[in-house]
Structure 1
Amino acid sequence: MRKRSILIMTLVAMMLFTLGQTVWAFKDVKNDANEQKISELKKLGILSGDKNDKFNPKSKLTYAEGVTLIVRGLNLNIDHIRFIKEPKASDYFTNLKDNAWYSQSFIIASLNGLEIPKTVKASDIMTREQFAHHLFKAMLTKGDYAFIEMFMLLEDEDDVNKDYMDSIQKLLISKIITLDSSNKFYPKKAITRSEAAGWLYNAITFVKETTPIPNLPEQPALDLKLSVNAVNSDINKVTVSAQAPHPGYGLRIASIGFEGNEAIIYVETVLPDPDKMYPQVITDVQVSTYVDAKLKPVLPVSAQSSESSTGSAAITE
């Protein structure tokens, strides 16, 4: 009797396990190369199938599906933006409807810098290079990641849109995507729903397991001044000075560029030692270098970016 009870319990457990596996699996992904990843994404509520619970893994991915997939998978949002008026998809894209199931995803994608073409149509088929680029841009919203400085060789490199190459390279280096046995990427080929799910799963895993580079302390905007004093008839001493918030800051000459008869003096701010305390008193800082007296020392055009809005629709907090 006891053996029979154990057998029944075992059979029930096996049935429940099998049922659980079935619940989280689409009917048409068995033996697909990304079957496990697709099932995991379905568990997370990122993927959904059609009314027959089919995923159609071999079908081509549309832009509406692809953008929604990336936004949902990497949990992108616009919670950090305060809107003056309700944003609409047509504010950012000329061919999209404002009340469609994909509209909000396109708004979020645009405001998160995914670089979606402004003239895109929801039904446009997304290529492998397009999905790769938008996916990588979405990853960057989660942090600044360190990548090995190397260039992966592609046999079909000439077919890649140069604006997408950096994104593709970073995804290859981080093994989020791979080349085939011929070292080809097929950038212009339509990406399938299965491939997109696999890449997205890998991207989510990368973001979850990789620590971003810590943000550097914000550098103060220094008002640089330049003075020139003759050392002799051939050499001038060039001094760059500024006022800093406290004596922990400094200046250094980063480089000197030459253009015509001008010597362009590039200066960097030396940041304070984070382990030291400094009196909060305005301090004069300066750094000097020497240039040929025949050249006119100048500072580069200011690289400081003034605040700018993203239009009348939104204000970033």
Structure 2
Amino acid sequence: MKKPFKIITLSTAAALLLSFAGQEMASAASFKDINNVQGKEKIIALQQSGLIKGISAYLFAPHNTISEVEGVQMIVNALGLNLDLVRFVKEPKASDYFANANDSSWYSKALIIAAVNGLDLPADLKPNHKMTREEFTHQLIHAIEASGKLPMVKPVVVEFKDQNQVKLNYSASIQRALNYGVVKLDAHGKLNPKKEITRAEAAVEISNALAYLKAHPAPPANSETLTAEQAVQLIKEAAGPDADLQIKIDPNASVTRESFTYLLVHTLQTGGQLPMLNLKPVEIKDEAQMDILNSGAIQTAIALGFVELDQVGNFNPKANITRTDATGIVNKAVEYLKAHPAPGDESTTLTAEQAVQLIKEAAGPDADLQIKIDPNASVTRESFTYLLVHTLQTSGQLPMLNLKPVEIKDEAQMEILNSGAIQTAIALGFVELDQAGNFNPKANVTRTDATRIVNKAVEYLKAHPAPGAESTTLTAEQAVQLIKEAAGPDADLQIKIDPNASVTRESFTYLLVHTLQTSGQLPMLNLMPVEIKDNDKIDIQNEGAIQTAIALKIVELDSDGKFNPKDGITHADAKAMVNHVLEVLKRYSNQQK
């Protein structure tokens, strides 16, 4: 569903009870066609309160079925939902939310109000489609709960004869409706969920819902603690409809002033809407209570006026945040964004922090990455591409490939250590050369270009999911590939190994060290052997390579001093060993210069 950029504050004092004095219709005439209708008194009471209208001054048409938009209009009117506390950056249209809506139709405002107030309406809503009893009941229950007036409860399950006919997505709200007394079963114990609902039935459900609300008033908004879901929704609304955000948060997490402020600022900064600022920090008396990783975002929020310290200079980071306070913070953020619009993505050079964030998002939440980068470093096409590919490979998500290099006209401008990653990125379609065959490695990368590269990487990862690295035993073919990657593209290696052979810690370590030594990349060392408790299990011809690997910290013994040579080696352990080797080779190469 598309949404215009807006911020909404829902007041708990909104007219949800039966006394809607401001909406009363003066001298409302009684309907002439409801004398024999069940729930007649409830329909009259709603009419006299100005909460429902007939098809004319004297006719209600109780047996007429209602369309989707008529049902929405009834709910919006009855619950007093409106746009009074909403500020839009651009004028909203019903079609912003519902593709099939007519912006000039009588129902357009009701659809806008419903969407902004969080009603659970489908984006492909069909205005003239007849509403069923289950659809209307679900929308009504969701409306009174989404507007913050009714706590979510775990209902006592009510059995009814045709419950197997209820759409799965509606079953929970139907159960709550039965518990609230909003809807009742017929004399045969049936709900008749697929039956088209009449105007009279809808009015009676609305009357029952209002009666329940009157008997169960909600607490004042100021005491309503923000939920994790509400926090995410507020932040997404602040970021606007063009920001394609995937904010992941534990729905049961407690939202504090610290966590909400950090999430808001971090989201706006990584979304390119809020600048990364070089600030002079203010003194926060209770800063010791804050997570150090969140302090920068909170200092930014203070500097930009989103939040304030209390009279004694405390931020109260661990205090729960109310919905009212959170909305106030977001409103101030939106005011700042209006006054300081971000430059277009095309002209925005990627910052180092944004680069890291994009790469972490590509790697996914399960990758525990610690990417170290100078926050003031200039991010080029070369450095970003290398960092992306290297991160995905070392985390086990991207395979090490044996590639036939393509010709890059300006390859001389590239660091030789980065060339393998860039060749991989080209081969997998993450990046392309320009028409002249240049990669332009030293050109700054824009946020748009970087996002495009990451999107292509994510598409590849989805199409070629890596096996779970921790639990996957290394195959002979993977072992050879890892060792070739460690040796680098310039090493013309012909490693022969039985593709069906079992790869152990011993055989992989030997093959890795032996290959690098015979290719001249790793020196032959004169070592003082360390004691290996299970040395008797190691083949004598492999001992030297394993002692070298231990001395260079490529591998370690376990807590009992054992090497466990005959154990199968996992993909993750083998990658870790190769990473250590690459570090050793870099150090050795630097010493030779």
- TM class by shorter chain equals 0.5 to 0.7
Q: Is the 8 A contact 2:285 2:313 kept in 1?
A: no
CA–CA distance in structure 2, aligned partners of residues 198 and 62 of structure 1: 17
Cα deviation for residue 117 of structure 1 reads 1.7
CA–CA distance in structure 1, aligned partners of residues 314 and 65 of structure 2: 60
- Give the letter for the 1:31 counterpart: N
Runs of 5+ consecutive residues of structure 2 not aligned to the other structure: 1-26, 227-254, 263-283, 291-311, 319-364, 369-593
For the pair 1:210 / 2:216, whether they are aligned, the reply is yes
For the pair 1:102 / 2:107, whether they are aligned, the reply is yes
Q: Is the 8 A contact 1:92 1:118 kept in 2?
A: yes
Cα deviation for residue 283 of structure 1 reads 9.5
- Give the letter for the 2:224 counterpart: N
Structure 1 residue aligned with 2:577? none
Which of these residues, 112, 134, 140, is aligned with residue 135 of structure 1?
140
SS at match of 2:118: coil
Deviations 1:30-72 (A, max 9, x none): 0210111111111112222224621110111111211000000
Structure 1 residue aligned with 2:70? 65
CA–CA distance in structure 2, aligned partners of residues 86 and 40 of structure 1: 35
For the pair 1:155 / 2:192, whether they are aligned, the reply is no
CA–CA distance in structure 2, aligned partners of residues 44 and 127 of structure 1: 26
- Give the letter for the 1:129 counterpart: E
* Cα 1:146–1:212 shift into 2, 3 Å: farther
Cα deviation for residue 219 of structure 1 reads 2.0
- Give the letter for the 2:167 counterpart: N
SS at match of 2:44: helix
CA–CA distance in structure 2, aligned partners of residues 91 and 28 of structure 1: 38
- Give the letter for the 1:215 counterpart: E
* Cα 1:300–1:62 shift into 2, 3 Å: same
Which of these residues, 60, 82, 91, is aligned with residue 86 of structure 1?
91
Structure 1 residue aligned with 2:172? 166
Structure 1 residue aligned with 2:81? 76
Cα deviation for residue 161 of structure 1 reads 0.9
For the pair 1:30 / 2:35, whether they are aligned, the reply is yes
- Give the letter for the 2:40 counterpart: E
SS at match of 1:28: coil
* Cα 1:281–1:116 shift into 2, 3 Å: closer
Q: TM-score, normalised on structure 2?
A: 0.34
CA–CA distance in structure 2, aligned partners of residues 34 and 80 of structure 1: 34
Deviations 1:71-118 (A, max 9, x none): 000001122321111111111111111111111001111111211122
- Corresponding residue pairs, total: 221
Indicate the structure (1 or 2) with the bigger Cα radius of gyration: 2
CA–CA distance in structure 2, aligned partners of residues 159 and 245 of structure 1: 59
Cα deviation for residue 246 of structure 1 reads 5.2
Which of these residues, 60, 63, 74, is aligned with residue 55 of structure 1?
60
Cα deviation for residue 24 of structure 1 reads 3.7
Q: Is the 8 A contact 1:76 1:108 kept in 2?
A: yes
CA–CA distance in structure 1, aligned partners of residues 285 and 178 of structure 2: 43
SS at match of 2:169: coil
CA–CA distance in structure 2, aligned partners of residues 280 and 54 of structure 1: 62
- Give the letter for the 2:168 counterpart: K
Aligned-residue identity in percent: 34
Structure 2 residue aligned with 1:266? none
CA–CA distance in structure 1, aligned partners of residues 51 and 315 of structure 2: 53
* Cα 1:246–1:153 shift into 2, 3 Å: farther
Q: Is the 8 A contact 1:61 1:125 kept in 2?
A: yes
What's the RMSD between the two structures over aligned residues?
3.3
- Give the letter for the 1:120 counterpart: L
SS at match of 2:38: coil
1:260-271 counterparts in 2 under 5 A?
A: none
Structure 2 residue aligned with 1:306? none
For the pair 1:219 / 2:256, whether they are aligned, the reply is yes
CA–CA distance in structure 1, aligned partners of residues 59 and 132 of structure 2: 22
- Give the letter for the 1:28 counterpart: D
Structure 1 residue aligned with 2:130? 125
For the pair 1:194 / 2:225, whether they are aligned, the reply is no
CA–CA distance in structure 2, aligned partners of residues 283 and 75 of structure 1: 36
Q: Is the 8 A contact 2:28 2:47 kept in 1?
A: no
* Cα 1:245–1:171 shift into 2, 3 Å: farther
CA–CA distance in structure 1, aligned partners of residues 316 and 63 of structure 2: 64
Cα deviation for residue 144 of structure 1 reads 3.5
CA–CA distance in structure 1, aligned partners of residues 201 and 316 of structure 2: 57
* Greater mean deviation of Cα atoms: 141-150 or 203-212: 141-150
Cα deviation for residue 211 of structure 1 reads 2.3
Cα deviation for residue 147 of structure 1 reads 3.3
- Give the letter for the 1:126 counterpart: M
* Cα 1:125–1:149 shift into 2, 3 Å: closer
SS at match of 1:163: helix
Whichever structure has more helix as a proportion of its residues is 2
CA–CA distance in structure 1, aligned partners of residues 366 and 151 of structure 2: 29
Q: Is the 8 A contact 2:94 2:108 kept in 1?
A: yes
CA–CA distance in structure 1, aligned partners of residues 142 and 152 of structure 2: 14
Structure 1 residue aligned with 2:585? none
Structure 2 residue aligned with 1:185? 191
* Cα 1:23–1:72 shift into 2, 3 Å: closer
* Cα 1:169–1:99 shift into 2, 3 Å: same
Q: Is the 8 A contact 1:58 1:192 kept in 2?
A: yes
Runs of 5+ consecutive residues of structure 1 not aligned to the other structure: 1-21, 224-243, 251-277, 285-298, 303-317
Q: Is the 8 A contact 2:258 2:317 kept in 1?
A: no
* Cα 1:164–1:28 shift into 2, 3 Å: same
